[in-house]
Chain A
Amino acid sequence: MSAPLPDAGAKAPAPRASGGRKVVPVAAAAETEQSLYEVRRKIYPRAVRGGFARWRWALVFATQIVFYGVPWLTWGGRQAVLFDLQARQFHIFGLVLWPQDFIYLAILLVISAFSLFLFTAVAGRLWCGYACPQTVYTEIFLWVERRIEGDRAARMKLDASKGARKVLLKGAKHAVWVAIALWTGFTFVGYFTPIRELARSSLALSYGPWETFWVLFYGFATYGNAGWMREQVCKYMCPYARFQSAMFDRDTLVITYDPARGEPRGGRSRSADPRALGLGDCVDCGICVQVCPTGIDIRNGLQYECIGCAACIDGCDQVMEKMGYPKGLIRYSTENALEKGWGGGAILRQVLRPRVLVYSAVLAAIVAATGAALWARSPIKMDVIRDRGSLAREVDDRHIENVYRLQIMNTEEQAHRFTLSVEGSAHLGHVELLTDAREPFFEIAPLATREVAVRVQAVPHDREGSQPITFELVTSDRGGREIHVHEKSRFIVPSGTLHPGRSDR
């Protein structure tokens, strides 16, 4: 056998009870002649109730209320969250981010990645099972399917049938799906273009070409992935599903079947004593397989298809309750715990292991650094552009002049008034900044860029060539706190301009 990968047991033949009351279609019967490609078997997940299902629904509501609701919020007379690609301004409540702040997006991704590592190390595919949009929308679409077509058995019967009822029910289901998908597409585009205007143009059916494309594209992706593709996305398309095993260790909480307690599995009457029959606690009812959205049998061990949704735990617990057995035949446990028979306390103690602590520390450090960087972020940005064509001018016998263009950007939704000054190396003597402005200060409108051409005059006396200078911009924020922005540049003293005439005369 191969190395013990997480899916090592995936294809192990399941021991079957001789009675075989229920035949659960776990795997297609082995054929001697096989296609190279796998034909998808449609999965009909059975509805399940329980603690974990409630958690899943709680996260469906939490994520979708945020997703559908946030674009409708307003902040100071504008949409609170709006990624205005055309103006290259990204409004997030009071904050306006610019392409220059792209680093924050990178940091956000780093934070997301480390959060994922941390959660996965602690409790496996929590993200996949509860919060991933693929899971969330599949959950919503499944709910619609169930309301219209009925639960697992009814859906299987409907699919096998023919006639007007099937057409009617399927049509109704797809109509609701399309409506949800279009609303999702509309909301998505509403993050990039003002959603109230978008709503008005929806009513008038007057979208622009790009709005039409993205609403339909995102809507189609939702409809296709949550309605049709479902577990295929997780099994074949999602890279995270495949590299998660690298973040697992023997102390990671995963959904496991306890074979020591369950085997040998088999049907029995409620009144029978399983020990007398030589059976374990698993009644082989197949509920855990029927509720699984990816169609696997968790009793075969940890498999790469398992998205960690815990539906099988809820399903099995219900059966255990009915049978009068203790719950938790399928439960969150770890490889070590199963092997060594640990209880909950011992598992929890293992959570604080070095891997988890390192992930937590790194995550906390990045979050703190990002927070500090955002807090200290200057609302005014300055770029110094030296004139390239004209290096330097001799103004008179003493003064050398260089020309600069200062590109000043106000990233805030508040006008600023600023002053400019310059400092240079001692070799430049007295350095002075001159502008054509009639006032000693400049105004800059909210969210605007302003260009100021400035001349810098110096009185160099002992050194030619390129010398460092620093421009300083001083303004104040809303609270009256002074903001200083510094930007370095070079001042050029042309050769031959330091001849004795300059200093003597």
Chain B
Amino acid sequence: MSDFTSGFWSYYIAALTLGGIAFCAFILVRMSKRRVSGDPDKTGHVWDEDLDEYNNPLPRWWVWLFWITIAFGLGYLWIYPGLGSWGGASHWSSRGQYEQEVKAAEAEYGPLYQKFAAVDIATLAGDPQARAVGHRLFLTYCTQCHASDARGGKGFPNLTDDDWLFGGSPETIQTTIMEGRNGVMPPFGPALGPEGVLDTANYVRSLSGLPHDAARAERGKKNFATYCVACHGADAKGNQAVGAPNLTDQIWLFGPSEATIVETITNGRNIVMPAHKDFLGEARVHLLAAYVYGLSHPELQRRVAEAK
């Protein structure tokens, strides 16, 4: 229904609209009947004493154009909404048109998605058509965080390196996209103090062979055994069940610099991957999972290239 606070305004606007049209018609009838006398070549308007205006009357057929616009206007107001809250004979609305277009698109693309949904993800990752569709979906929905080349950014994981925070099996990837993920690293600044944090950061850098202060790393090792092993494991290779990253593989979610690691340990981190289940639906997520799975499995991509 209308947004008007009272039904009165609907009638008010309808009356104004119809009244305006009726007034135009009235003027047309009056002027068509009107006769003027005097010199037919001049309008009779005189300025500056002797400057008078030639009469170049409108052709009569032009008047018919006015009647046509009036007829068109009335027809339009009858068929489409325009008179107050009257919905028009066609019941057209922009929302209805949108829904119709969505339905038409579903009917067109639905079978394609159905076809892909029946194929398992690993196989789909080698299907060129599925990859093309997946690429489009990825560019639309994923590049905001994971970047156009799927290599991610600071705080957003690289999807091409086969190193996974929560697991890289086709099913896990699908679950990640469907349900979303939340990875939390608690802050250790209060527990370790600035010096302790710096020591621990140097130890973390030593794990992947980065330049570090050996004395600090030695001290940090003890802190690591106390505070970090619970999630990152004794071997520091991480735990996919809680999304704790492997710290030994030179792959960094937030960056390898000492300052960044100090920041991570002091204040903790909280990463969120939103759930796409309701937003994209299962069929699209299935295709996206296949595309993402294919990114870190070049042998499947090669199959795509050869198929081309």
Contact = CB atoms under 8 A, between A and B. Distances in A.
Nearest to B212: A505
Contact of A387 (B32, B50, B143, B250): B143
B36 A34 contact: yes
B141 to A, nearest CB: 11
A497 interface: yes
A480 B62 CA distance: 61
Given A33-B37, A497-B257, A403 B148 contact: yes
A2 B54 CA distance: 9
B40 A37 contact: no
Interface in A360-389: 387-389
A401 to B, nearest CB: 8
A466 B36 CA distance: 75
B149 interface: yes
Interface stretch (B115-123, B152-160, B221-229): B152-160
Most B-side CB within 10 Å, residue of A30, A34, A388, A396: A34
A1 interface: yes
B68 to A, nearest CB: 14
Given A31-B40, A389-B145, A496 B259 contact: yes
B300 to A, nearest CB: 14
A397 B152 contact: no
Contact of B257 (A30, A388, A393, A397): A397
Contacts of B143: 387, 389
Interface in A430-477: 436, 438, 453-455
Interface string B26-64: 000001101111111100000000111110011111110
Given A393-B151, A496-B259, A2 B51 contact: yes
A502 B256 CA distance: 10
Most A-side CB within 10 Å, residue of B62, B148, B259: B148
Nearest to A37: B60
Interface in A28-58: 30-40
A236 B153 CA distance: 65
A454 B152 CA distance: 13
Contacts of B54: 2, 7, 10-11
B256 A403 contact: no
Nearest to A504: B211
Nearest to A304: B56
A232 B59 contact: yes
Given A394-B257, A502-B257, A38 B37 contact: no
Contacts of B31: 36
Contact of B53 (A2, A40, A387, A453): A2
Contact of A397 (B41, B149, B256): B256
B73 interface: no
A499 B255 CA distance: 13
A455 B256 CA distance: 19
B37 A40 contact: no
B71 interface: no
B273 interface: no
B257 A40 contact: no
A37 B50 CA distance: 25
Contacts of B151: 393, 401, 403, 455
B149 A436 contact: yes
A285 to B, nearest CB: 25
B147 A38 contact: no
B257 to A, nearest CB: 5
A35 B211 CA distance: 100
Contacts of A392: 153-154
Contacts of A38: 57-60
Contacts of A7: 54
Contacts of A105: none
Contacts of B147: 387, 389-390, 403
B36 A37 contact: no
A501 B260 CA distance: 11
A397 B153 contact: no
B282 interface: no
A78 interface: no
A501 B258 CA distance: 7
A270 interface: no
B257 A501 contact: yes
Contacts of B153: 389-393
Interface string A469-505: 0000000000000000000000000101101011001
Contacts of A261: none
A389 B211 contact: no
A157 interface: no
A91 to B, nearest CB: 27
Given A389-B144, A499-B257, A453 B52 contact: no
A31 B149 CA distance: 83
Contact of B57 (A30, A36, A502): A36
A396 B255 CA distance: 8
Contacts of A436: 149
B263 to A, nearest CB: 9
A150 B144 CA distance: 75
Interface in B57-107: 57-63
A405 interface: yes
23 contacts: A1-B50, A1-B52, A2-B54, A10-B54, A30-B41, A32-B38, A33-B35, A33-B36, A35-B34, A37-B58, A38-B58, A38-B60, A232-B61, A236-B62, A388-B144, A389-B147, A390-B147, A390-B154, A394-B255, A396-B256, A404-B148, A453-B148, A499-B257
The 9 closest A-B pairs by CB, nearest first: A390-B153, A389-B144, A394-B255, A37-B60, A390-B147, A11-B41, A38-B57, A453-B149, A505-B211
Given A40-B60, A390-B156, A397-B210, 13 more contacts: A2-B51, A10-B54, A30-B41, A34-B40, A232-B61, A388-B144, A389-B153, A390-B146, A390-B152, A393-B151, A397-B256, A405-B148, A499-B258
Interface of B: 31-32, 34-41, 50-54, 57-63, 143-149, 151-154, 156, 210-211, 250, 252, 255-260, 305
